[in-house]
């Protein structure tokens, strides 16, 4: 039995050390990159880019399902963004409440015509509206088809070279858009860029703008603050350095319209449409030998409201994990495949081995050591040593993320907040982390059961569509038309 325990413990330990080695590597790369990046920002006046005639026109596509309570404020906030040339398309996804009526009333919407620029398959569009006082605001009223379907409907009516996919309840910082468009200006091969998503819970918000950044009082939300810092600053920045960005958050990402339409838009048969699109873009470009760049930018900020109860959070995490599994399975050809460069060799392999299999091994480890302890097969000191290692590694990663925040953007300025975040980094390992593992395992099981629902109580409430997407063949270079043609119409 000792042999079995030793072998199993050894395997768990090796896996665990490998995982933490990767985390530490991405954190170190993130540290080096952020240090340089912050220096670069010093030589850049973002207002120059905002005011530059060469700033790229962009369309914000905002899917809305039963958002009556916040939609008007969200749109008002979007209308105040600092950007020279942008349109907003709100897609009312067959809301059963009065979302559309509120929009019509608040923005004096009138029926209008707008010929689609691509032909992605979506649920039927009932009508198009345009705001009287804000000619850059459009509303598409369509039958319910889910978030991805709504994004596709918005994409079909997008006339700008870029579009921003976002959630109706996301608050963008006034400078977020020019900051996220910057990679498209600096590198014409950029086809997608994601910004950082931060937790708005606890912050003071006025007129759709986060005025004061504070840690939430609610512990579930507070755990997520540190978790988001870890995910975005310590992980995504590192993956970006390795050219292996596989996820751009659905709450805030900018894409080149032409190529997204070319690959068929957002997939409507997965709950992880954001990651699936990014992976499909990698695959498309690699298979067709198109020079491209997909990047993560750490300074454009979108604020989102995080779930404050475990039930909602569990559903969210279940859905994320399902989306991850569905995407990795759909594109399994990329796994460890050198043809797909760093995204296939490094990113895809990591996500498969450590993000999908990881929770299973972690849960197995917990169960195994608990069993060994209860049955007395392993001494308590042995089990405690392993547990201490797991806790120490978890704390190290979270503290590294907090340190990266302090190095770079320092949003949480209250002196006590830094200490609180370090405390959260410690206590999240006792309960919260195990719950997260459980939700992720549930997500894997749901994915295996081919469950495509978003969860009935989810705030966004998008229901799935099993309609397949038909690739609309729009040449990438059609975007060049926008330079002097479509933009002149506005």
Partner 1 sequence: MWTGGTSPAWAASSLIDVVLWSTLAIVAVVFYLAGAAFAMRIRNVLRARRYNSYEASWEPVLLDVIDGSVALSGLQATVTSRSRRHFLKFLVRYARLLSGGDRQIVVDLAEQHLPMMVGDLKARNPERRAFAVQTLATLGMEKYGPAIAGALDDASALVSMVAARTLSASRQPAYIDDVLFNLHRYARWNSRFLSSMLASMGSEVAPALRSFLRSNRDPLDRAVAADALSLLTDPAAADVAAGILNGTPDRELAAASLRLLRTVGGPEHLPIVRSCATSRDFVLRALALRVLGTVGEAADLDLLEQGMAHPEPWVAINSAQAMLEAGGAGRLEAMVASGHPLAPLAREAIMERVG
Q: Which 187-216 residues touch partner 1, going by CB under 8 A?
A: 187-189
Minimal distance, residue 191 CB to partner 1, in Å: 12
Minimal distance, residue 407 CB to partner 1, in Å: 6
What is the C-alpha to C-alpha distance for residues 388 and 392, in angstroms, rounded to an integer? 6
Q: Does 124 bind partner 1 (CB under 8 A)?
A: no
Give the burial class of 396: count Cβ atoms within 10 A of its Cβ; 0-12 exposed, 13-18 middle, 19 or more buried: middle
Q: Does 184 bind partner 1 (CB under 8 A)?
A: yes
Contacting residue, 117, 270, 295, 304, with partner 1 by CB under 8 A: 117
Q: Which is nearer to partner 1, 133 or 449 (CB)?
A: 133
Q: Which is nearer to partner 1, 242 or 478 (CB)?
A: 478
Q: Which is nearer to partner 1, 234 or 281 (CB)?
A: 234
What is the C-alpha to C-alpha distance for residues 327 and 64, in angstroms, rounded to an integer? 24
152 token code pair: 């596709």
Minimal distance, residue 439 CB to partner 1, in Å: 25
Contacting residue, 333, 410, 457, 470, with partner 1 by CB under 8 A: 410
Rule CB under 8 A: which of 216-275 touch partner 1? Answer: none
Q: Does 466 bind partner 1 (CB under 8 A)?
A: no
Q: Does 6 bind partner 1 (CB under 8 A)?
A: yes
Contacting residue, 33, 76, 114, 243, with partner 1 by CB under 8 A: 114
Rule CB under 8 A: which of 125-154 touch partner 1? Answer: 130, 135
- Which residues in 231-244 are b (16+ Cβ under 10 Å) and which e? bbbbbbbbbbbbeb
376: left (phi over 0), alpha (psi -120 to 50) or beta: left
Q: Which is nearer to partner 1, 83 or 439 (CB)?
A: 83
Whether 439 contacts 314, CB under 8 Å? yes
Contacting residue, 101, 287, 309, 480, with partner 1 by CB under 8 A: 480
What is the C-alpha to C-alpha distance for residues 244 and 238, in angstroms, rounded to an integer? 9
What is the C-alpha to C-alpha distance for residues 157 and 159, in angstroms, rounded to an integer? 6
Q: Which is nearer to partner 1, 159 or 322 (CB)?
A: 159
Minimal distance, residue 200 CB to partner 1, in Å: 23
Q: Where does this chain touch partner 1 (CB under 8 A) — which range of 13-21, 207-215, 322-330, 332-340? A: 13-21
Rule CB under 8 A: which of 355-394 touch partner 1? Answer: 376-379, 381-382, 385-386, 388-389, 392-393
- Which residues in 310-325 are b (16+ Cβ under 10 Å) and which e? eebbbbbbbbbbbbbb
Backbone angles phi, psi at 29, to 5 degrees: -60, -40
What is the C-alpha to C-alpha distance for residues 157 and 122, in angstroms, rounded to an integer? 12
Minimal distance, residue 485 CB to partner 1, in Å: 5
Give the burial class of 59: count Cβ atoms within 10 A of its Cβ; 0-12 exposed, 13-18 middle, 19 or more buried: buried
């Amino acid at each position: 039995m000792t042999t079995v325990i030793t072998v199993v413990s050894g395997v768990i330990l090796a896996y665990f050390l490998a995982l933490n080695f990767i985390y530490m590597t991405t954190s170190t790369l993130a540290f080096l990159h952020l240090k340089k990046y912050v220096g670069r920002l010093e030589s850049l006046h973002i207002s120059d880019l905002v005011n530059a005639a060469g700033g790229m026109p962009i369309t914000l596509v905002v899917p809305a399902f039963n958002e009556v309570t916040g939609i008007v404020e969200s749109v008002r906030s979007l209308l105040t963004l600092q950007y020279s040339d942008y349109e907003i398309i709100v897609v009312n996804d067959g809301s059963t409440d009065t979302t559309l009526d509120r929009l019509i009333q608040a923005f004096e919407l009138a029926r209008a015509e707008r010929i689609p620029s691509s032909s992605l398959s979506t649920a039927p569009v009932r009508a198009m509206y345009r705001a009287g006082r804000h000619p850059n605001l459009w509303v598409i009223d369509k039958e319910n088809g889910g978030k991805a379907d709504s994004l596709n409907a918005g994409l079909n009516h997008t006339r700008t070279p870029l579009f921003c996919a976002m959630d109706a309840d996301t608050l963008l910082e006034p400078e977020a858009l020019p900051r996220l468009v910057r990679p498209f200006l600096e590198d014409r091969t950029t086809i997608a860029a994601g910004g950082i998503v931060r937790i708005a819970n606890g912050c003071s918000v006025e007129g759709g703008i986060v005025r004061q950044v504070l840690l939430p009082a609610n512990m579930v939300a507070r755990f997520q603050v540190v978790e988001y810092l870890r995910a975005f600053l310590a992980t995504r920045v590192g993956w970006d350095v390795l050219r292996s960005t596989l996820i751009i958050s659905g709450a805030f990402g900018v894409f080149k319209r032409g190529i997204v339409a070319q690959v068929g838009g957002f997939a409507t048969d997965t709950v992880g449409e954001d990651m699936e699109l990014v992976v499909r873009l990698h695959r498309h470009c690699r298979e067709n030998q198109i020079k491209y760049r997909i990047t993560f930018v750490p300074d454009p900020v979108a604020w989102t409201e995080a779930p404050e109860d475990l039930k909602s959070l569990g559903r969210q995490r279940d859905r994320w994990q399902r989306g991850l599994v569905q995407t990795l399975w759909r594109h399994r050809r990329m796994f460890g495949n050198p043809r797909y460069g760093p995204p296939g060799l490094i990113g895809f392999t990591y996500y498969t081995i450590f993000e999908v299999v990881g929770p299973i091994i972690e849960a197995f480890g917990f169960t195994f050591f608990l069993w060994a302890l209860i049955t007395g097969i392993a001494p308590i000191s042995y089990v405690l040593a392993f547990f201490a290692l797991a806790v120490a590694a978890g704390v190290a990663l979270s503290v590294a993320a907090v340190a990266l925040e302090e190095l770079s953007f320092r949003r949480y300025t209250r002196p006590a907040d830094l200490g609180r975040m370090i405390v959260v980094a410690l206590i999240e390992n006792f309960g919260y982390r195990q719950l997260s593992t459980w939700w992720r395992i549930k997500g894997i099981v749901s994915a295996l059961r081919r469950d495509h629902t978003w969860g009935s109580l989810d705030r966004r409430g998008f229901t799935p569509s099993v309609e397949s997407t038909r690739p609309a063949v729009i040449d990438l270079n059609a975007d060049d038309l926008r330079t002097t043609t479509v933009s002149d119409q506005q």
